[in-house]
Structure formats: structure tokens, C-alpha cells
Chain A
């Protein structure tokens, strides 16, 4: 029995294999089902075993900096550029985009639906002191949300009152917003795939400020000698190739396209 257990334990793949590519990723791409759609196509085409660890963009960047991943798919452009500039990644490329939307109770107590821009919409939420669920987790969406609040309201001072930081992922934050009738900022893909909407609805969208760009970065082998740069480069090249971009464009949910490829 002991020998059997030991065999089971030792049977786990101990070392990184040539064909395994570990992707540190934002959650929206996993929660929306994008990977379930495109990974089988990429694995078939490239002969790779692509493994995705979906965490927030902040944690994904941290994990990759610690060399616990071969590449990144995230959405926080400034942080991505800083990551490459610091020598942690080889090159950042645009991969695809979608947009952020502000969802909230369908009754829209703060009256944001007719706001001319995102800043006005958020200002109305702050003025009404209507509950707002923030990610509060240093993710790409959280960074975007904080940049939108900048100059609109002092959310740090309001934390714990109408401004509520969940410190968790997009799905968990949407569950909270649905439960307490709060507004929140979400990427459209996670929203479209999200099933527990309660009486939440999209109340504000369309401001160019809400543009959501995803980037892809292989981790630099000079910083992390352990990474599978060949595999990471192959998957990156495929993602930005015609075949990869088409696979992204082909992924729809309920008839709606979730991500719009825009690699150069």
C-alpha cells in the first residue's frame, strides 16, 4: 500500500516538459470560456500541452516575475510595458480587445444610464452614495476602475461605506453586486458568460475610456532560465497569427462575439 502511494506521488510530472506551456492569465479569458474554445485548436496545431493558471492580472504579473509561468495573457497595458521594460518579458504584443461596462440594479437608483461619459456615470454613483462593488484586488479591471475614479471621487475615503472592495475576482464580485444590489465595473466577456445576474443589467457602456486591451508576453529566458521560451513563443506567434486571431473572433456566446482580435 505504501509503495503504491509512493508510486502515485512520484508519478506526477516533476520537471517542466518541452511541450508544456504554462500561461499566467487574467480570469476573464477563462471565465468567459475563451480558452475552452481556442486551446484545443492551438494544441492540435502546435503539438503543445497548454496549461492556464487564471488569476488577476496583478497576481499573474507577480507570478511570472517569480518565473512561475512561461507567458502572460493579461490586460493592464502600462503594467505590461513596465514588465517588459524591467527585463521580465521579451516583448509585449496587442492580442485582442473588448470593453468594460458598468452594470447595476435594473432600477438604476443613481441614474447613470443617460450619462454622457463614464466619469459622469461614476460621479452620479458617488453623489447618490449608491453601493459600488470594487474588485479591490490589483487586477487589470481594478486598475482600470481606479483610473476612472481618478478626479471623480475619493473612493479610498469612501471604502467600507457605499464603496465596497471585495478583494476577489470578477465573478465573485459580480455575485456580491447581484446580492447587495450594487453597481460594478466588469469586462463584457465575463458579464456575458456570467449566469447569476439577479436583477443586474448593463447600465452604461460605449465610452472610449472603457476600451479593454489584452496583451500577450513571453517571459524572458534571460530573467528566468527555467521557462519554456520555445513553447511560449510558438503559442504567442500562433495567437497573433491569422489562425489564432480567427479562432478568437470565432468564439461567441449566445450569438455575441466576446473578444475582438487586433494583433498587428
Chain B
């Protein structure tokens, strides 16, 4: 496989040269996926907390549904969002199709169930642990959720990172709703798909390595921040 060597050289060349097209693509990938994860967190964390703490009819079915939605194929989400945002679709008037906004919406839908399901699992475990104490203190559900969220804040970062990994890695949804338009909606994964379809495999794999490096840096940054805030006792 001589392509591996070629692609490592290509990746290094891309990084060293500071190719403006590559920088543009990387920045758009970050902008789309980080925004999507932030929005998905605003939906997913409260939903996960509610499912972990509150007891209501249909809760079991809802947990099952959220867990199942983690397996949503990106291309199905892409198709759904495409039909919604299409000029003749229900939200066509907003003119969002083939813009980064459409890509953010699609990735938010993909990532929210992941964050919700992982948050729920984390918080449910902690809720069981804290149950006696919180009951003794007579905590209301809101207070219970607030306490759990605060104490689980570092564990929840893992859920966000899992969501970010999914967002940065998926290609099916952003390809359909973004259209892979040069300088407008081209991100790392759609650029990789394009280079593959051109048979430019070393370039495609080289871009893949840049994407991997980016994910590594993001993860390292988050772990670094976490260690700092958690203090030396936990680090």
C-alpha cells in the first residue's frame, strides 16, 4: 500500500503549506460541528437529565427511543432535513438549503440523541448513588437535577466529545443538505468524498489524517481543560 506513505506526505505538505483552501474547509468543519454540538447539548443534556430523574408514564419507551436514535444513519437525517428545507418543503422559505445553517441543523438532529442517551446513563447512575442523601434533604426534582448536573459536569464532557466525534466524522447528512459547494459548504468529510471520487486517494487519505489530527487536538484540549478545573486531586 504505497498510498499510505503518499498520504502521510500529502497530509504533512497540506499542514506545512497552510493551504488557504484547506484552512477554509477546516474552519467550516469546526464551525458547523461545534455549533451543532452546542445546540445538541442544549437539547440533549436537559432531556437526558429529565429521563434520569423524573418518573412519568412512557419514560421507558422514551429512553428506548432516544437510545435507538443514536443509530440514525446520517444519510437518512440528511434526506429528512433536505425535504424539510427544500424550496418546495415546509421550511423552504428560509432559504437554508445548501448553506452551513442546513448542515448545522442536520448534525444537531444526529448528535442530540447521542448526548441525551449518554447524559441519561451518566446521570441515572449518579442519581441512584445520591438517592438517599437527596431524599433526606427533601430536594425537589429541579434541585436534584441541578445537583446531579453540577456534580456530573466533567463526566458529561465525555458525552459532548462523543457527539462532536460523530458530527465531525459524518458525511452523508452534510453532503445532501450542504451540497459540497466549494468555498460555501465544503467541509473535511465532503472534500474527502470528492477526492475519492476523483480517484485521488493519497489526497483523500491525507485530508483524513488532517481530520484525525484535528479531532486529537480537540480531545486533548478538552481533557487538558478538565484536568485543570477538576484540580490536582482528580487529575
Contacts and interface: CB of A to CB of B under 8 A. Distances in A.
A203 B180 CA distance: 33
Interface in A163-187: 169-172, 174-175, 178
Residue among B97, B181, B198, B201 with the highest chain A CB neighbour number at 10 A: B198
Interface of A, secondary structure class, is mixed
A71 interface: no
Contact of A195 (B31, B89, B180, B201): B201
A30 B186 CA distance: 13
B31 to A, nearest CB: 6
Given A5-B35, A51-B184, A194 B99 contact: no
Contacts of B198: 31, 171, 193-195
Contacts of A197: 199
Nearest to B102: A12
B200 A195 contact: yes
Given A14-B101, A16-B95, A172-B196, A68 B87 contact: yes
User: Interface range on chain B: under 10, 10 to 19, 20 to 34, or 35 or more?
Assistant: 20 to 34
Given A2-B38, A5-B38, A224-B87, A196 B99 contact: no
B197 A31 contact: yes
Contact of B197 (A22, A67, A172): A172
Given A16-B95, A67-B86, A5 B39 contact: yes
Interface in B90-124: 92, 94-101, 104
B196 A9 contact: no
A8 interface: yes
A175 B198 CA distance: 9
B87 A226 contact: yes
A27 to B, nearest CB: 7
A170 B100 CA distance: 26
A67 B88 contact: yes
Nearest to A35: B182
B98 A175 contact: no
A66 B180 contact: no
A157 interface: no
B46 interface: no
Given A53-B181, A224-B87, A12 B197 contact: no
Nearest to B38: A5
Contact of B180 (A16, A53, A178, A224): A53
Nearest to B88: A66
Contacts of B98: 22, 51, 53, 68
A54 interface: yes
A52 interface: yes
A9 B180 CA distance: 18
A182 to B, nearest CB: 15
Contacts of A53: 98, 179-181
Contact of A194 (B39, B182, B184, B199): B199
11 contacts: A5-B38, A8-B31, A9-B104, A12-B104, A14-B96, A36-B182, A51-B98, A66-B86, A66-B87, A68-B87, A172-B196
Given A15-B95, A51-B179, A52-B181, 10 more contacts: A8-B35, A9-B101, A14-B96, A14-B99, A51-B181, A171-B198, A174-B199, A178-B199, A196-B201, A226-B87
Interface of A: 1-2, 5, 8-9, 12-16, 22, 27, 30-31, 35-36, 51-54, 63, 66-68, 169-172, 174-175, 178, 193-197, 224, 226
Interface of B: 31, 34-35, 38-39, 42, 86-89, 92, 94-101, 104, 179-182, 184, 194, 196-201
